[in-house]
Amino acid sequence: MTDHATNQAEVLLAVNGLKTYFNTDDGVVKSVDGVTFHINKGETLGVVGESGSGKSVTSLSIMRLIPMPPGEIAGGEILFSGAGGKAQDIVKMSEAGMRKIRGNEISMIFQEPMTSLNPVYTVGDQIAEAVMLHQDKNRKDAMGVATDMLRFVGIPAPEKRVNEYPHQMSGGMRQRVMIAMALSCNPALLIADEPTTALDVTIQAQILDLMRKLQKDIGMSILFITHNLGVVAEMADRVVVMYGGRVVEEGDVIEIFKAPRHPYTMGLLNSIPRPGVDAHVPGTPRKRLEAIPGNVPNPLNLPPGCAFEPRCKFAVPDCSKAVPPLEDTGGGHMARCIRWQDFAKADQEVRA
């Protein structure tokens, strides 16, 4: 996990003011509208947010996999400090340069493994393919790497499994294959977009456990996208919270959970029952979840000021005047809310 021994964390990836837009018949969808965050070497950055908040578009932008058209990167930079040493801007990189990075220094696992595994090739062929693309290996050696990788991710009888097709495997097994493929070239950054959402909790626990172990062994950084706050709490060192295509809060995982400074984050945390703690006890009054009212905003028609304003119980007239800036509330804990100081003060009063 985070390299606490060296105090100055080394930045692996820095996304600055990224804007990824889609030109649709109904207008311009500003899926990612000025997103800024960074990932340090060896750390896991969790990204949470509602459906449509721009999590996947952010990660696809980093991979340079946005379909253009209709998409375009309308602004910003994505600085990656890969094997070359000095930071390179992925946005400006040539496609040939990008091919050297994609699937090699930066790789990605997707929510639904079936959409990214090819049904007509064996899993061994697919992993070997990725290995041969980036490493100077012949087929036989590449297949050897594939078998080793399957063993590495805990697939039983890898010598046999390597010759199977994706449809012969269970969902959890396919996700392991995806991880094996993504890790086959020792990436510096692994982007995991909802890697366990489609899986059962017991299989999710296996995969999370595996990812943690592998990270410790390989020392890679992970960008972990999920909407499950439990998974974030468990996996992330730091957290980015997105809403309506913007970062609304960013900070250390414990800070985010214990002292959130944005009302959307607070609302999310209050809206989920905690396992165990909130179990209903017969004969006691029923608890109520604190739901966030209203609906996810329409990306074509975001509110003028703070995008969360229509749903925010702390909203004041100033909130709709301009998009609030992302401000440092102390120690790198960022929040995009004009009232964060009020929450900080209230927190202090409670603690006093």
Ligand X SMILES: Nc1ncnc2c1ncn2[C@@H]1O[C@H](COP(=O)(O)OP(=O)(O)OP(=O)(O)O)[C@@H](O)[C@H]1O
Applying CB under 5 A, the residues found at the interface with Mg ion are 55-56
Angle between the 123-134 and 171-183 helix axes, to the nearest 10 degrees?
20
The stretch near ligand X (CB under 6 A) out of 67-75, 112-120, 208-216, 311-319 is 67-75
**What's at 40, amino acid-wise?**
N
Residue 128: CB minimum distance to another protein, A:
25
Nearer to another protein, 132 or 315 (CB): 315
Q: Applying CB under 8 A, does 244 fall inside the site for another protein? A: no
Cβ closest to another protein, residue 63 vs residue 240: 240
Task: Count CA atoms within 13 Å of residue 322 on its CB side.
Answer: 4
315 lines the binding site for ligand SF4 (CB under 6 A): yes
Nearer to ligand X, 153 or 240 (CB): 240
Q: Is 101 helix (H, G, I), strand (E, B) or coil?
A: helix
Choosing from 212, 227, 327, 344, the residue that interacts with ligand X (CB under 6 A) is 227
| Lateral strand order in the sheet of 106-109 | 106-109, 189-193, 221-225, 44-49, 238-243, 246-252, 334-335, 327-328
What phi, psi does 277 have (nearest 5°)? -60, -40
Q: Which is nearer to another protein, 138 or 271 (CB)?
A: 271
Q: Which of 234, 314, 327, 330 binds ligand SF4 (CB under 6 A)?
A: 314
Among 34, 43, 41, smallest CA distance to 15 is for 34
Return the amino acid letter for 23.
N
Interacting residues of 222 by C-beta distance below 8 A, sequence separation 6+: 43, 44, 45, 189, 190, 191, 192, 211, 215, 235
Distance CA 66, CA 245 (A): 15
Q: Nearest approach, Cβ of 209 to another protein (angstroms)?
A: 6
The contact pattern for ligand X, residues 258-297, with x = CB under 6 A and - = no contact, is ----------------------------------------
Closest-CA residue to 177 (of 269, 94, 110): 110
For Mg ion, the closer CB: 31 or 221: 31
Q: 206-225: which residues touch another protein (CB under 8 A)?
A: 206, 208-209
For residue 290, state whether it binds another protein (rule: CB under 8 A).
yes
Residue 13 main-chain phi, psi, to 5 deg? -135, 130
- Residue 289 makes contact with another protein by CB under 8 A: yes
User: 244: alpha, beta or left, given left = phi > 0 and alpha = psi -120 to 50?
Assistant: left
Give the one residue of 24, 138, 186, 271 binding ligand X; rule: CB under 6 A: 24
Q: Which amino acid is residue 339, in one-letter code? A: R
For residue 343 the two structure tokens come to: 């929450």
If the CB atoms of residues 190 and 232 are measured against another protein, the closer one turns out to be 232
Is residue 13 involved in binding ligand X (CB under 6 A)?
no
Please identify, among the stretches 137-145, 158-166, 275-283, 320-328, the one whose residues bind another protein according to the rule CB under 8 A: 275-283
Contact letters (x/-) for another protein, 35-74, by CB under 8 A?
Answer: ---------------xx-----------------------
**Shortest spacing between CB 258 and Mg ion, in angstroms:** 27
Q: Per CB under 6 A, which of residues 212..271 are in contact with ligand SF4?
A: 262-263
Neighbours of 144 (CB within 10 A): 16
Decide if 272 contacts 229 (C-beta within 8 A): yes
Report whether 14 contacts 87 (CB < 8 A): yes
Cα separation, 225 vs 223, whole angstroms: 6
Site residues (vs ligand X, CB under 6 A): 22, 24, 29, 31, 49, 51-57, 67, 70-71, 227, 299
Site residues (vs another protein, CB under 8 A): 50-51, 156, 170-173, 200-206, 208-209, 227-234, 236, 253-254, 257-258, 264, 267-269, 271-276, 278-282, 286-293, 295-296
Site residues (vs ligand SF4, CB under 6 A): 262-263, 306, 308-309, 312, 314-315, 319, 324, 337-339
